[in-house]
Amino acid sequence: MDSPPEVTFAPLLFGGIAFMLLAAGALVLFLVVYQKRLLQQQLRLRAAEATHQQALLAAIVEAQELERERIGRDLHDGIGSTIATAKLLVHRLEGPQPLDDRADLLGLVKEIMGTAVQDVRTVSHSLYPVVLARFGLAEALQHLVDVSNEAGTLAVELEVEYPRPLALAQELALYRICQELMHNAFKHAVGATRLGVQLRQRGTLLTLAVDDDGCGFAQPAPGPPALAGAGVGLRSIDVRVQLLRARLHRASGPGQGTHTRVELPSAFVV
């Protein structure tokens, strides 16, 4: 006598249920392992980001301390010695003996004090550019170029196309980058006859470019700039570029000048 159909179907049903339970268990196990690996990857990324942020912070602190050291040296060696010289001349003018060159000494004192006033303005402007806070980046760059042309032997040319101003913090970072690039050109661009500065805002891109026709230098190995391996000035530029989330391009070669471009994408343009 044949067995009822439901009795024959029972093993198939139990087998299907067991297979579904095994599949569900395998899926749960896969999800648990996947979530664990994803969490580990996120932790590694956070650790790498934290290490990078610490390197940036250390570079910023170092650059600030060295900038303070430079300003202190300028105050002591430049303004301090100038005022000390003026003080000696004033004491000489106050002496009891008559002086035939009193008028000449007085004129020299006035000239020295005028130089000291100009040096104070230069140092105060390097600490914080008041023109930037009052009138914006374009006027601050124009003032920086004018002062450089008055004080230096290298002619600086400025081109500005800047219709939509950025936030003050972004403008200050771009100003410091330009200031450092110009300082590097004055110091290292041997044989240069001109220095070009361009600030252009076209479409979705803002570009700051500083170019000279000096001696140039050999290009380093390709790859991202190492904060610990570059000079203080270059590290400060790299730090500010990263804080702006901008792109930095450098091109140079012996006898080919130095060309530096900072590109700020539209996502961070106000």
pLDDT of 63 reads: 67
Q: Give the whole-angstrom CA distance, residue 174 versus residue 172.
A: 5
In 95-246, the DSSP E strands lie at 155-161, 194-202, 205-212
In 3-state terms, the chain is what percent helix, strand and coil (to 5)? 65, 15, 20
Q: What percent of the chain has pLDDT over 90?
A: 20
| pLDDT greater at residue 22 or residue 137 | 137
Q: Which of 27-31, 87-91, 112-116, 125-129 has the highest mean pLDDT?
A: 27-31
pLDDT of 61 reads: 67
Beta bridge partners of 212: 195, 258
Q: Work out the average pLDDT over 144-162.
A: 88
Q: Per residue in 219-247, pLDDT tens?
A: 554 444 444 445 667 878 888 898 888 99
Q: Give the whole-angstrom CA distance, residue 158 versus residue 160.
A: 7
Q: Give the whole-angstrom CA distance, residue 79 versus residue 124.
A: 12
* Tokens read off for 186: 């004055």
pLDDT of 261 reads: 96
- Inform me whether the pLDDT recorded for 7 exceeds 70: no
* Secondary structure class of 209 (helix, strand, coil): strand
Total residue count of the chain as it appears in this document: 270
Q: Please give the mean pLDDT across all residues of the chain.
A: 80
Residue the block writes with tokens 């760059």: 141
pLDDT of 225 reads: 47
In which band, very low, low, confident or very high, does the pLDDT at 125 lie, cut at 50, 70 and 90? low
- Inform me whether the pLDDT recorded for 56 exceeds 70: no
| pLDDT greater at residue 32 or residue 8 | 32
Q: Which residues of 49-82 are buried (b: 16+ CB within 10 A; e: fewer)?
A: eeeeeebbeebbebbeeebeeeeeeeeeebbeeb
Q: Which of 29-43, 159-173, 194-208 has the lowest mean pLDDT?
A: 29-43
pTM of the model: 0.63
- Inform me whether the pLDDT recorded for 53 exceeds 80: no
- Inform me whether the pLDDT recorded for 138 exceeds 90: yes
- Inform me whether the pLDDT recorded for 96 exceeds 70: no
